[in-house]
Amino acid sequence: MTVNDLDTQVDDALKGDAAPPPPQGSSTRAVHGGTQRRKAYNALNTPIVQTATYTFRDTQDLIDFMERKTWGDGDDREEYGRYGNPTVHAVERKLAALDGGDDAVLFASGMSAVTSALLTILPTGSHIVMTDDCYRRTRQFCLTFLKRFGIETTVVPMGDYEAMEAAIIPKKTRILISESPTNPYLRIADLERIAALGRKNRVMTFIDSTFATPVNQRPIEWGIDFVLHSATKYLSGHNDLLAGVIVGRADRLKALRDSRGVLGGIVDPHNAYMLERGIKTLGVRVAQQNATAMAVARFLEAHPKIERVWYPGLPSHPDHVTAVAQMEAFGGVVTFEVAADLRTTGQFIDRLRIPYIAPSLGGVESLIEQPALMSYYEKTSEERLALGIKDNLVRFAIGIEDTNDVLNDLDQALAGI
Ligand SMILES: *Cc1c(COP(=O)(O)O)cnc(C)c1O
């Protein structure tokens, strides 16, 4: 077989005419998944097609394009920047390969992905069932924005599958929304159970898998319909861009791709290139973050100045058994309670030399925050407690620094309070 035959085979595979490639590990998929081996100008990397519109040779060329678009199965070219871009497509194919979906649609941010997906899927008068530990802004969108369009949401406790099923209203409920792991307690949703509930009751299922990454957890393999990632976090991995993606079955995502052309939450081609560049190192970054997080969780759990550690890799976590069953590893975020008040907890954070104080997670730099002062600042201690946020709670989003340096830093900071 010649190199040219191989290229033809790869091109055919991308068009879906050939047998699927053998299963590959997630790091190989992060580098090669969904990527055409031949690119314009024989470049190794995906070219950045920085254009807002696309031209037609002559009137006949335009008519041919419209005929193909209207009647045929289309082709690779685009008509206008809001409808698509080759650089964006390249990242979408990679993201689909990583999560085991057959298509992916990329958006300008994680929130743009969630809001566009729900606006596309849900008709007026429909109903959502959502778990209570969901991302704050997703919850806000459902409970306030969608409510204005006559879409109601029932919030059920995370981990209570009887309550989830009981909340389903026949013919009205269209979607079950959950997250795994959640923020900040890293609760794990039983994906197989949620998928089965969805199928049994003819309801679609949607999982925000941002904290897990496709390296640690692939909800589609458990039967989930839609997977969301804020690509701002681990996928891009460098705290330098915002993007979001929905992965799923091609027939389900077609409507979403079309509605993106209307709602307009497209990602810039340069940003898409930066995201693809980040994704190529996802496997090694996440392996390092998993390993350090596990070591940090064990270290903190044994430390006398720590009251409680929340990490799904520890047997003490309420969802440890589910996590072991459905995850490859447990991610790079460790949440814990310092045996101290609001102020002393802040002093511990201030003594740390490695992590920056910042919201977000998943990048190469470690980030740390006290949720009471970050996401819940405007509330009183009592209001926060009612939401389950203690004053001494700390969320540590681990970067790719050396494990021992991170442990030594925590050790010295705890010794100082
Ligand atoms: C950050 C985040 C989002 C929102 O994504 P953006 O890219 O910031 O819009 C949604 N879900 C989870 C779990 C997140 O961490």
316 forms beta bridges with none
**Residue 79 located in a structural domain:** no
Write down the pLDDT at residue 384: 87
What value does the mean pLDDT take over residues 356-371? 97
Lowest mean pLDDT among 9-23, 127-141, 149-163: 9-23
Among 241, 260, 279, residue at a domain's last position: 279
The answer on pLDDT for 69 being more than 90 is no
C-alpha span between 266 and 106 (Å, rounded): 7
List the single range of 68-82, 122-136, 186-200, 299-313 with lowest mean pLDDT: 68-82
CATH number at residue 376: 3.90.1150.10
Helix (H) or strand (E) holding 244: strand 244-248
Does the Cβ of 109 fall within 6 Å of ligand 1? yes
- For residue 412, how far is the Cα from the chain centroid? 33
Same domain, 371 and 408: yes
CA–CA separation, 110 and 232 (whole Å): 7
User: Is the model's pLDDT at 19 over the cut of 70?
Assistant: no
Tell me what pLDDT residue 20 has: 53
Atom of ligand 1 nearest to the CA of 244: 7
User: 322, exposed or middle or buried, with CB in 10 Å at 0-12, 13-18, 19+?
Assistant: buried
Q: How far is CA 16 from the centre of its chain?
A: 26
Give the total residue count for the chain: 417
143 is a domain residue: yes
pLDDT at 358 > cutoff 60: yes
Judge whether 367 lies within some domain: yes
The amino acid at residue 214 is P
> Which of 19, 38, 66 is a domain's end point?
66
pLDDT higher than 90, residue 12: no
Cα–Cα distance for residue pair 262/186, rounded to 1 Å: 35
In this predicted structure, what is the pLDDT of residue 387? Answer: 81
Tell me, what's the pLDDT at 181?
98
Give the tokens for residue 271.
């940003």
170: in domain = yes
Centre of ligand 1 from the C-alpha of residue 137, in Å:
8
Separation of CA 408 and ligand 1 centre (Å): 30
Statement: residue 18 has pLDDT above 70: no
User: Measured between alpha carbons, how far is 134 from 173 in angstroms, rounded to an integer?
Assistant: 18
**Residue 295 located in a structural domain:** yes
The string of pLDDT tens digits covering residues 216-237 is 999 999 999 999 999 999 999 9
User: pLDDT tens digit string along 174-185?
Assistant: 999 999 999 999
269 and 384 both lie in a single domain: no
Mean pLDDT over each residue of the chain, to the nearest integer: 93
Instruction: Say how many domains are in the chain.
Output: 3
Return the active site residues.
Answer: 82, 135, 208, 233
Residue where a domain terminates, one of 257, 279, 301: 279
Position 120 scores a pLDDT of: 97
**How large is the average pLDDT for residues 389-400?**
96
Residue 191 Cβ contacting ligand 1 at under 6 Å: no
Q: Are residues 381 and 355 in the same domain?
A: yes
Mean pLDDT calculated for residue range 186-206 = 98
Residues 167 and 233 occupy one common structural domain: yes
Same domain, 237 and 321: no
Domain annotation covers residue 74: no
Same domain flag for 37 and 19? yes
Q: Closest Cα to residue 275, out of 362, 357, 205?
A: 362
Instruction: Quote the pLDDT of residue 70.
Output: 78
pLDDT of residue 210: 98
SS3 content of the chain, % helix, strand, coil (to 5): 45, 15, 40
**Res 11 pLDDT > 90:** no
Mean of the pLDDT values across residues 35-48?
Answer: 93
- For residue 73, what pLDDT is reported? 62
Cβ of residue 242 lying under 6 Å from some atom of ligand 1 = yes
For residue 133, what pLDDT band results from cuts at 50, 70 and 90?
confident
pLDDT of the residue at 300: 98
How do residues 253-311 score in pLDDT, each as one tens digit?
999 999 999 999 999 999 999 999 999 999 999 999 999 999 999 999 999 999 999 99
In terms of domains, do 30 and 104 share one? no
Asked whether residue 168 falls in the same domain as residue 106, the answer is yes
Q: In sequence order, what are the residues at sequence separation of 6 or more whose Cβ sits closer than 8 angstroms to the Cβ of residue 143?
A: 153, 155
Q: For residue 45, what are the domain limits?
A: 3-66
Query: From ligand 1's centre to the CA of 209, what distance in Å?
Result: 10
Question: Do 315 and 377 fall into the same domain?
Answer: yes
Which tokens is 199 given? Answer: 């199928």
Q: Whose CA is nearest to atom 1 of ligand 1?
A: 230
Does a structural domain hold residue 78?
no
Whether residue 72 lies inside any domain: the answer is no
Rounded percentage of the chain residues whose pLDDT exceeds 70: 94
For residue 331, the CA-to-ligand 1 centroid distance in Å is 16
pLDDT at 236: 98
Q: Do residues 331 and 194 both lie within one domain?
A: no
CA 142, CA 138: separation in Å to the nearest integer?
6
Handedness of CA 32, 34, 37, 41 (dihedral sign): negative
Using one digit for the tens of pLDDT, what is the confidence trace for 239-260?
Answer: 999 999 999 998 889 999 999 9
Distance CA 52, CA 154 (A): 41
